[in-house]
Amino acid sequence: MRPGLRLFVVTLALVLLSGCERYVQRPLIGDKILASVERKRRLPDAAFLNDESLEGSDASAKIAPVSFTFSRAVALMKDNSPALKELRAEYDTMQALASVKTPLPNPAFEAGPLYGFGPKVSSLYRLQPFGSLSFSIPTGQRLKRQDELNQASAEAAYVESQAKHRELYLELRKSYTRLALGRQRSAMRRDLADSAEKSTSLTKKLIEAGLATELDAGLIELEHVKLKTEAFTAEAELSNIRGDMSQTIGVHADHFTQLPDEMLPKLPETLPSLDDLRKILLNNSPDLARIRARYELAERELHLQLAKQYPDFQIGPKFENDQGEKKTTVGLTLGLDIPLFDRNQQGIASAKQKREEIRVKFEAAANRALAALDRAYANNKLAFDKLQMLKTLVLPRAEKNSALAKKGIEAGTSDTLKYLETERNQRAVSLDVLETEMTLRSAWVELEQAIGYPLLPFPNESPSDTPPLGTPSPIVNCPICKEPVK
């Protein structure tokens, strides 16, 4: 190989190798990660969490008592939710791809020997080198369309993270409501157990007065024990709710023990109209937001496939030495694939149908969303009517019957079994009222989940607590709080 050609090849190799990245090892150390996660679960607000000097610190540090309001729950979930962290990492991956422009095709370099033979070929120049360098120039805006597709993929990942955040926020509203009502249910069962214990004491006095039997005392004592076991069950359910919230929010359940006195939003007496709710649903449903992002991604994919039907233009210099002579020839090569048969018909047809598939999925998702809205709306109305009947008719009657039975047994004019039955009925009605209120509040949360937007603000909740969804929407006022829906 001639010195000039050798120098060119070496220079080209150095240029290519200098632009390549090197592998940097980053091992996954499980025990350190586990210890760090445990500290963050217990002390999510601590400033020293990233301080490596505290790697060996006690993970069971005492959690400072902070009032666990709904706004605090939202803030903790935003910063610590494992699901959100995963989606943000996926978005960062897509954004890393989108932030790098699609490069031009690499030039192609060829070099090798040419061997000449025949009577007119000089033996001195029988073996000669040749070389060529060619560049591909895209002609159909393929690189631009690829950049647009990469950006659309990043935007779809971002919408997915926003949609998941909105879903987790609405699920958190449900869990926080369950936590508040679970606390009320646990307290009510303890109160009912205490009430049954008082009935047991009263029955013992009646036995001493000859107005009740040991069987009456045994039945009331059995009722008391049963209510105490149900109080334990209510505490277990409350513990499960805290566990579910801990998994969703990403912090230790000990953060949920210091609860404010007022936790739940006030229930309105009327439901908003279905038309208002449908307007909110259109631009706030997480599922519809996801499919809109996927549709935009399909549009960008179709643009790319259309650009790929145009072949790249090839151009480059070429030089060679004639065999048998001391003569160098330099030329310019031009090339272009003729799209006579392959015009990327398969890629275009697939991309077109994918776009139509996503359009059909949007219609199906809208159908399911409207069905969920109708179901939640009907369940809300039924639960509201039942609660009103229990509070206005059933509960006052049960309380009155219990009071009359107590007066009768104290005066010796009533049967002990009747008193026990009226006490049991009053407790059952009181629990039914609480369970129906839980059903009604769950129906309101399901209504919010159906439209993808909160309707009943929690005490001290800020409008900024609602995670944005990132989809354009017209100005629609919330039918409950009268604030503009974002």
Residue by residue, pLDDT tens for the chain (486 residues) are 555 555 555 555 555 555 677 878 888 888 888 888 888 888 876 533 444 444 444 544 555 567 889 999 999 999 999 999 999 999 999 999 999 998 888 888 888 777 666 666 666 666 777 778 888 888 878 899 999 999 999 999 999 999 999 999 999 999 999 898 888 888 777 777 776 666 666 666 666 656 566 666 676 677 767 777 777 877 888 888 889 889 999 998 888 888 888 889 998 888 889 999 999 999 899 999 999 999 999 999 999 999 999 888 888 887 666 655 666 677 778 888 888 888 889 999 999 999 999 999 999 999 999 999 999 999 999 999 998 898 888 888 888 887 777 777 666 666 666 766 777 777 778 888 888 988 899 899 999 999 999 999 999 888 888 888 865 444 445 555 555 555
Which is it for the CA torsion 486, 148, 90, 28, positive or negative?
A: negative
Which backbone phi and psi does 473 adopt, to 5 degrees? -145, 145
Token pair belonging to 129: 């080198």
pTM across the whole model: 0.79
For residues 243 and 229, give the distance between their C-alpha atoms in angstroms, rounded to a whole number. 21
Which is it for the CA torsion 455, 458, 459, 461, positive or negative?
A: negative
Token pair belonging to 150: 């990469």
Which backbone phi and psi does 414 adopt, to 5 degrees? -125, 155
For residues 151 and 358, give the distance between their C-alpha atoms in angstroms, rounded to a whole number. 19
For residues 284 and 485, give the distance between their C-alpha atoms in angstroms, rounded to a whole number. 9
Kindly calculate the radius of gyration of the chain based on its CA atoms and give it in whole angstroms: 37
CB neighbour class for 43 (10 Å; exposed up to 12, middle 13-18, buried from 19): buried
Q: Per the CATH hierarchy, to which homologous superfamily does domain 69-102+146-309+356-485 belong?
A: Outer membrane efflux proteins (OEP) (1.20.1600.10)
How many degrees, rounded to 5, is the angle at CA 469 between CA 464 and CA 474?
90
Which is it for the CA torsion 244, 247, 248, 252, positive or negative?
A: positive
How many degrees, rounded to 5, is the angle at CA 130 between CA 331 and CA 13?
105
